[in-house]
Amino acid sequence: MPTSAHELPLELLRLDPALPDWVQTELLGGADAPAFDHARLHDPHVRPQTFLADAMVLYCDAEDIPVRGTVYEVQRGRDARKLGSWKLYVGHLETEFRVTASLVVFVPDPAVARWYRDQIAADTHSGARLSPRMFTADDVPLLPDVEQATARPASALFAATCHLDDADIDVMFPALLAALDALEPEKKIFYDDVTVGRLPQAARDRWEAFLMTTAVGRRYHYERYNEIDARGEARGEARGEARGEARGEARGEAKAVLLVLDSRGVPVPEAVRRRILECVDIDLLDLWLRRAATADDVDDVIRGHTGQA
């Protein structure tokens, strides 16, 4: 599982091997290229094995025969050796599969990208000239289109990772939610962590407020979002209490605990349900709510508190 900023764009490529084609044709306005039926990852090892590309993609027809290829690299720093190894990667792909291969390089830092472009422009003697489609985070626009995010979640997630610190990131919230919702549960949890989890605190607070405006019901594979829903509903009820504000807040927190447990399918005996609803200790209810998000049994939620709450 990726643990660095270098690996995240590659993990998104594994999610959708056609991502470099989207970059070339839509973001960078590339020339017409042969049509393909599907894209598949190819072993990025280039023999001799001391050379290893970040990723290689083959675009194939319906019979799985490659019609073109792409070497996809993520480059965060200046490394003159790449000017030679990139040629080797492209040459390997073209030689092995007898296709034309492009070179797509994501360079998050515009200054680093300019350095590479200057180095390539100055190379007038090499017998193999580089012509990479090099792009930076600034070249990736915000993608607020929900339909596009649903159809191509990797594109929306990639765009979000390039704009996490932008003041306008909120316009992508519906598309980001749609992209996450299009993924399998385990992938959804991971990509939520590496996108939403990296938002600045103020933006993350706005994201959670946005979630509370979406349709009511259990709709998140990630229990933290169901908990946010529960808190929103419960605290809305608490604010609506004309009298007994403290009791209203406690009642709302208690209902949040039960809502999370019910949404996760955890059985709650009637006696325990009454005990939770009658609890007026906000701190204790907050503890129970945090436990409810992961507990397999209601006893795990209220453990250590056997007396009257």
Q: How confident is the model at residue 216 (pLDDT cuts 50, 70, 90)?
A: very low
CA dihedral of 87, 24, 167, 6, whole degrees rounded to 10: -30
In whole angstroms, give the CA distance from residue 72 to residue 56: 6
Higher pLDDT, residue 225 or 58 = 58
- Nearest Cα neighbor of 191 from 178, 200, 201, 203 is 178
Q: How confident is the model at residue 221 (pLDDT cuts 50, 70, 90)?
A: very low
Other CB atoms within 10 A of residue 167 CB: 9
The tokens 């989890």 sit on which residue? Answer: 197
225: pLDDT strictly greater than 60: no
Determine if residue 64 is left, alpha or beta; phi over 0 gives left, psi from -120 to 50 gives alpha, anything else beta. Answer: left
Higher pLDDT, residue 46 or 88 = 88
Q: How confident is the model at residue 230 (pLDDT cuts 50, 70, 90)?
A: low
Do the beta carbons of residue 126 and residue 147 sit within 8 Å? no
Average pLDDT over residues 200-222: 71
Mean pLDDT for the chain? 84
pLDDT at 309: 38
7-139 belongs to CATH 3.40.1350: yes
pLDDT tens string 41-50: 998 877 655 6
- Nearest Cα neighbor of 221 from 253, 252, 193 is 193
Query: Which residues does residue 102 pair with via DSSP β-bridges, in sequence order?
Result: 70
pLDDT tens string 260-276: 788 778 899 988 888 88
Domain ranges across the chain = 7-139, 141-211, 215-309
Give the pTM. 0.64
